Each structure stands twice: as C-alpha cells, then as structure tokens.
Structure 1
C-alpha cells in the first residue's frame, strides 16, 4: 500500500509541476504578444488563444518534457548521486598539531527511505575514499523507527577514521512523527536506536564532549541532542561544554542549523566550527551558474554550505538520504570534507 501510494503521489506531483511549467511559458508567450501588439501593432489586443505563436507552444511543451525528465532522473538516480564537497577553513587559534586535520561529515541518512543497497554502498565507498582523520554524522539516522537502519548496519559500519566516528541525534530519531502503542514503546525504540549507533561504530554524543589529542595538543568535539526551533529543544549546550575552557578549540555537532543562530554564534565560550544538517536543501533547488536557491531558504536563513559570522563557522550538510519526496533535483546528496588550517600557514 505504501509503495502504491508513493508511486501515485509522485506521478501526480510530476504531472502537476510539469503542467505548471507548461502554463507559465504559455503565459510568458501571451504577455510577449500583448506587448508586441501595443508597441508594433503586431496583433490586435483581442486575439484569441488559438492565435498563439506556435513557437511559444512548442517551447512550452519542450519545457514540460524537460521537467518530466528532470523529475524522473531525480527519483531514479538523483537521490543516490552522491557529491563530495570540499572546504578549507582557516583559524587563528587552531592548535598547530591539527593544521591540515580533515573531517568528513554526512547528515540525514533516513535509512527507512532507501531501496537500493548497492547504490548506498557507492556512497559509503566514497566516504571511505576521502581518508579523513575524523568522521561525524549529524543526525536523523532513521525516519521514525530504529529497525529501519538494520538492513544497512553492515554498510555504514564500514566507515572508519583514525580519530573515530561520532554522531548525534536528529529530530526524526526520537520517533515523534508516528503513533506508538505506549510511551514505553517509544522509549524502547530510542534506546534501541542508540544501541544501533554503537553497533555502527559511532560514538553517540548526548550533550557531552570528547577530547581529540595529537602531539600533546587537543581540540574539543562536542555533540548535543536535537535542538531546533519548532523541532524540539532537547539539547543542553552548557552541559556538553562542561569542563571545557573558553579558549579551547571546539567543534560542535548539532543537527538543526537554527541552533547556531539561537545559542552558538554568540556563545561566550567560542565554538569555532559547528556542523549541522536537517534541511536537506529541501531536495529541490538550483545551485549552478552562481545561483543558489531552494524553497527551504524561506524557512532557514542558512540552509546549505558554509556560513561565517563572528569569527565562527557553520556548515550545513545537504543530507545523505532523502525523505518525503523520494528523489533529489538540483540539491544532490552530500559528503562534506573539511580541512582545518591555521591562518599563519597561508
């Protein structure tokens, strides 16, 4: 039943959007003819729809077909079209031993949406190919139920990094979006999900931090439970930073980027780099020819990539998986690789 509903709903979406594109280009053609009629007496203002310039009709139909093709690609291949995005970030206060340190970040796996294990494996292989010093996952392992990750434990447990693999929870991991037989069942599901993080080889950070050491120097890696405006404010940043120094170099894993604006970017204890996900870039948008747009921008100030403010950085990963719409168009699944550098190494 779920598969049938997915097929029908996606077919309806494709036809609806394609028809809208077709109509928009017809309207553009109509507007063009009206303007021409006013400026050159090209056509009386009272022309009939049947008198439309067929070049515009043909062009509108071509755009209709391209929209159908684009959606078909996004649904069949785009959602597994993993991209590696590299960033090099410079800091005044990065410990010298960590100059050149690399980390790989993914977010929003949403294992319950996957249907192609072989294509997921290609993403895993691409992660390991980066050979980063550290691996981090910033939440939403599943859509709702812990059992969704079980078929993919053997895949994601392949991810290894010299300084370890660390994770946090996202809003979907708490099981808030389905009805449970009892609150006890919901709690058991979350406990099982936490156990699966361990089985994957991920150290789950629950309002806590770890110290990463190299040549006698250290950086702090902290992680909090989900904190997001409108999506549950569970995380306790102060608890996660307990027993750290204001001057320590800190990296924070926090699923929702709204947390950065609310508590992180102006926090008295400087957090040099925050890593988030959550938005998926809405799995639809344009990032080409200098254009960066997605409908999700009307909900989140910063929805993808690097943001810098107050000498602090935020990276929002576009997500590894997908949810709701079973595809991606223009906003491809992302594997982020960040290299930390000292400014004096420039």
Structure 2
C-alpha cells in the first residue's frame, strides 16, 4: 500500500521543532558562550529534520523500515529532551519576570533579565536525564518484564477455587519484537508463576498473522493446569493496513486463529467454557474485540448464553472501555473482567504514590485494578510494545491474580 505523503504536518512539526531548538539554544548559551556551539546545534537540528522528512517519505512508499525507526526515535529523543529543558528554562524566565530580577545584557536593543547559571545547569541535567531515560526505554525498558500480583476477595467464589491463581498477559504485538532472547525471559517468568490458569487478552500481532510465526516456539511453552485461553484484540483483525482483497484479509484472520491453536491457546470467540474443581465451577467468558472507537464486534449476550446469574464469571475482553459501557452494570454479574489495550501508553510514572500516564486522558481505567458495583476490572499494561519501540516508567507486565473467598481482612 502506498501511503499519501502530506507536507503540511511536516511544516508544522518543523516550525515547532525549530522554535523549540532556538529557545533551547538561548538557554544553553547562558552556560556556554562558545562560538561553535550555535552552528553545531543548528546543523544537528536541521539535519535531523531533513532525515525525518526523508524517512517519512520512504515510509509512505515502503512502510516501516530500519532507517525510519532509527530516525523517528532519534527525533523523538531530541525533541523530548529539548522540551524538558525548555520547560525548566521557561519556569526560570517566568520567575525572573515576576520578581523583576535585575538584567545584565540586551537582545535586539531590548534589556533582558539575568538567567541563573545554576538553574540552567539543573535544566541541562534534566535534558541529559531525559536522553538517558529514552535510550534505556528503547534498549532495555521494553523488555523489562515485571510481575504484578493482586489478591481479590469474593463472597460468592466457589469454595474449591479459594486460592485459585491465574496469570494474564496482553498486547504481545509480536511484529514489534527484535530480541527473541529477551522475549524468552518473559516467557520463563510467566511459567515461573505456576498459576492454575493462563489467559491472554488480545493483540497478538500488529497487523499480519505471520508476525507471530517466529515466536510460536516461545509462547507455546506457556502451560497451566486449567489451560491457556485467549481472545482477539483490535489489531488482530488486520484493520490498519490495506489488503489486496477482503478475501486476503479474511484468510489472514483465519490463519491468526489457527496460530492461537498452534500456541496452545483456546481462542474464545463470543463463548464461554466451564472450569471445574472438586465439583465446583467457574465460568470463563471470552468475547471478540469490543472497544469504543476500535470496533464493537463482541457479543456479550451470545457469550453468556447458557450461564446462570449466580455463576462465578471471569470475562476476557480486550478493551477496558467495554467494562464501563456494558459489563459493570450487566444484569448477570461478572465478578472479574480482564483487559489490556492501553499499554499505559508505554510512558508515564508509577512511583512515590504517583500514577500518571497521558493515556489517562483517553481511558478512565488504564492500568491495574478497578472495583465498582461489586465487580473487578484489571487492565494489564501489556507484554509488548507498538509505535514507540520502548517503554519509560510503564514497564511490560505479567499479572498474577489470586482469587480468595470472603471479604478482605
């Protein structure tokens, strides 16, 4: 598919980038007045901008390639680092303006206020820290798997399932992987949890079913006593690339479903299965992708047909917006829903009591456990990555949930 190249967005980005670069340079020259500094900074900025334009043009004709990834990520690192520097620089400038700190030099005939070299030094440290964080996120952070454990209490949990554990991953996006050895470490960590049940909540690939082929040997190692189950995510349907025909698109989806079987995953398509233990049972329900703005394919009524209102149910549904729209108030109680989709935007902070990511402005529940109306939702932060080939602050997640009978003590 040949994509249309639009020049206007490039002009806007270039103007923003060059304006940011000029402001960044104005601060940098406060602590280093060398005559060579300004030309070097501008040569780097202009060179990076032209390289970005060329990379986007090649992407329009050929799709994502290695050169495109390198240039886009280099541009992102420089832009983000300069933006952080500029934010601190602006704070200092506003402070000096408000408190009328005396000036000591002029620009274009206008008197300007003195900048503290100590504050500029701090801004530059933040610039360097941003570069380091992005490089770490791209090289190591995207494979820095972590296990997050939750213990959830239910009055209506069948007694035999008290202490039952499940492991959830989501959003593999196999087409983005470049390090099979690192992926294998994630697989080993999944198996090390020794959970009773394994579930995968969608987006096995970015677009094409063939993306998972190199990793079938990895993910097929995942085993659990009560089985491995999966659902589809929005990317699995191949909606984001152009196919030669609708038949080719349908064949791709069918092949992806076959690959789920090759992985040892039982793919649930608007259906449920019964898990039994010592005469007790819980219902595991899986629906096709249902997400506001990402296709509302799933049929919850169909998936629950034949179940009773008092059955204990666990729902696999890729997009957390489904929980707000249908699940949390569904007449037949669904005690636990498991979703993914958001990736936590692969960027944010979860430390020192702070939990923030830009994705919060799109999704009400974007990571972790949410409870409402006597029902739980867990949103997994994703096992893989997409778009930005890295993770900063929001690390790839393996969720382990233990079900307990009774009220939380």
TM-score (structure 2 length as normaliser): 0.82
- Aligned with 1:321 (options 384, 399, 402): 384
Equivalence for 1:87: 150
* 1:219 pairs with 2:278: no
Residues 49/22 of structure 1: CA separation in 2 closer, same or farther (3 Å cut): farther
Mapped contact 2:187–2:222 kept (Cα < 8 A): yes
Equivalence for 1:103: 166
Q: How does 1:141-220 map to 2 (within 5 A)?
A: 141-220=204-283
Equivalence for 2:125: 62
Deviation at 1:57, TM superposition (A): 1.1
- Aligned with 1:308 (options 371, 379, 392): 371
Mapped contact 1:75–1:326 kept (Cα < 8 A): yes
Mapped contact 1:34–1:45 kept (Cα < 8 A): no
Q: CA separation in 2, counterparts of 1:51 and 1:305?
A: 47
Output one character per residue of 1:150-170: Cα deviation in whole Å (capped at 9) or x when no partner.
000000000000000000000
Larger radius of gyration: 2
Q: CA separation in 1, counterparts of 2:170 and 2:386?
A: 12
Mapped contact 1:36–1:43 kept (Cα < 8 A): no
Deviation at 1:34, TM superposition (A): 2.5
- Aligned with 1:25 (options 80, 88, 107): 88
Deviation at 1:28, TM superposition (A): 1.2
- Aligned with 1:53 (options 107, 111, 116): 116
Mapped contact 2:206–2:386 kept (Cα < 8 A): yes
- Aligned with 1:298 (options 339, 356, 361): 361
Higher-RCO chain (CA-CA 8 Å, sequence separation at least 6) = 1
Paired residues, what number?
Answer: 342
Output one character per residue of 1:56-95: Cα deviation in whole Å (capped at 9) or x when no partner.
1111111100000000000000000001000000001000
Residues 49/145 of structure 1: CA separation in 2 closer, same or farther (3 Å cut): farther
Q: CA separation in 2, counterparts of 1:192 and 1:237?
A: 24
Equivalence for 2:102: 43
Secondary structure in structure 1 of the residue aligned to 2:99: helix
Deviation at 1:50, TM superposition (A): 7.5
Q: CA separation in 2, counterparts of 1:263 and 1:325?
A: 31
* 1:275 pairs with 2:338: yes
- Aligned with 1:236 (options 272, 291, 299): 299
Let me know the Cα RMSD of the aligned residues: 1.4
Q: CA separation in 2, counterparts of 1:50 and 1:84?
A: 51
- Aligned with 1:330 (options 387, 390, 393): 393
Deviation at 1:49, TM superposition (A): 5.2
Equivalence for 2:316: 253
Secondary structure in structure 1 of the residue aligned to 2:79: helix
Q: Which runs of 5+ in 1 are unaligned?
A: none
Residues 220/65 of structure 1: CA separation in 2 closer, same or farther (3 Å cut): same
Equivalence for 1:130: 193
Secondary structure in structure 2 of the residue aligned to 1:315: strand
Equivalence for 1:13: 76
Q: CA separation in 2, counterparts of 1:320 and 1:305?
A: 14
Deviation at 1:29, TM superposition (A): 1.4
Q: CA separation in 2, counterparts of 1:306 and 1:294?
A: 16
Q: CA separation in 2, counterparts of 1:139 and 1:345?
A: 30
Q: CA separation in 1, counterparts of 2:253 and 2:407?
A: 45
Mapped contact 2:201–2:318 kept (Cα < 8 A): yes
Residues 45/270 of structure 1: CA separation in 2 closer, same or farther (3 Å cut): farther
Mapped contact 2:187–2:221 kept (Cα < 8 A): yes
